[in-house]
Copies of this chain bind each other. A is one copy, B any other.
Amino acid sequence: MAVTIREVAEAAGVSTATVSRALRGLPYVDDATRLRVLAAAANLDYVVSPSASRLASGRTGSIAVVTPFIARWFFSTVLSGVEQVTHDAGLDLLLLGVGDPDRPSEVPTEQRLRQRADGAIIVALPADDPEVRALLNANLPVSIVGSLVPDVPCVAIDDAEAARKATAHLLNLGHRRIAVISGSRIGSIYTTQEHRYRGYCDALSAVGIEPDPTLVAFGQFTREGGEQAMGELLNLTLTPTAVFCMSDEMAFGASVALRRRGLVAGVDISLIGIDGHPQSEVIDLSTVEQPVESMGRFAAESLLAVLGLTPPPVRAPGLVSTRLVSRGSTASPRDGR
């Protein structure tokens, strides 16, 4: 069926071992021989069988991305960054969803992962989940996007700082009653929201404001959730003059809630998110931008480096910086509020 290394060997008049060496650019192959082999291979449209190669060498030539979501902007953008790198490096990219993210028992086991990839990129999975931890402890090369774990290459933003920036921006505009739309009420395994909540509190405390628990709503990091959370905040007797949303998507939902009540973001209530989602510009939403695609690229590059396939990237892993983008959705509070 498919053309095998043996046929190439025969066509080039050498042994299969030599073909293997020539094709992979190993040393100790005469230039003339190598050329003959390359020509024969090209001539026959030969492609090495990855299965055979994997079996024999133990290397899979592919890396896995383990992620709880695929369609959401943050995740697909990370994925896109990863793909650019793996594509250029000639590696296969295996996409492993985690199934229902609220029941993360679907994290692939180390054995399963190791059998199909040389390394894995873990996107925004909680490092203290037992299954994730098991993966990290296993000596499978891993690179992480979205949280910091000691002794593992990571890319993440400083969640607390990003939240502080956003909240401080609102404070600087003169807001004092600032609500926050967080993820889920129950202590989620995802730590992002806790860090961001801390940053929010820190910013308030810094100007002597006591965080008000009634000004916390929960939006599940989804647009719909953000919409509902904003609805709840608007039902308070004393409504906030500004809302810090822990993600742009929730801010989008919040802006829908505002519109439904005839309110305008940046006029009646200020709104800020975190992400730098492309749509934030569309609705003129202030936000704290994070370089998501390069984070994906960087995670992949770090992993390749760990695998010894490339020299290590110039920048050291760790925290990447965020940037406040002030747009029309944030303004000083109106008089009398």
A residues within 8 Å of B by Cβ? 2-3, 45, 47-52, 54-55, 60, 62, 69-73, 75-77, 79-80, 83-84, 87, 92-97, 99, 106, 109, 111-112, 114-116, 223, 252-253, 255-256, 259, 278-279, 281-284, 293
Closest 7 CB pairs of A and B: A76-B76, A51-B54, A71-B80, A70-B80, A51-B55, A252-B282, A47-B111
Q: Which residue of B lies closest to A296 (CB)?
A: B71
A2–B79 touching, CB < 8 Å: no
Neighbouring B residues of A45 by C-beta, 8 Å: 109, 111
Q: Which residue of B lies closest to A59 (CB)?
A: B51
Q: Which residue of B lies closest to A251 (CB)?
A: B282
Using A47-B111, A69-B80, A279-B282 as known contacts, list a sample of 16 further A-B pairs with CB atoms less than 8 Å apart, ordered by residue number in A: A2-B111, A2-B114, A3-B111, A50-B115, A50-B116, A51-B115, A52-B55, A55-B55, A75-B76, A79-B95, A87-B97, A87-B106, A93-B94, A93-B96, A223-B281, A255-B282
Q: How far is the CA of A76 from the CA of B71 in the complex (A)?
A: 5
B71–A87 touching, CB < 8 Å: no
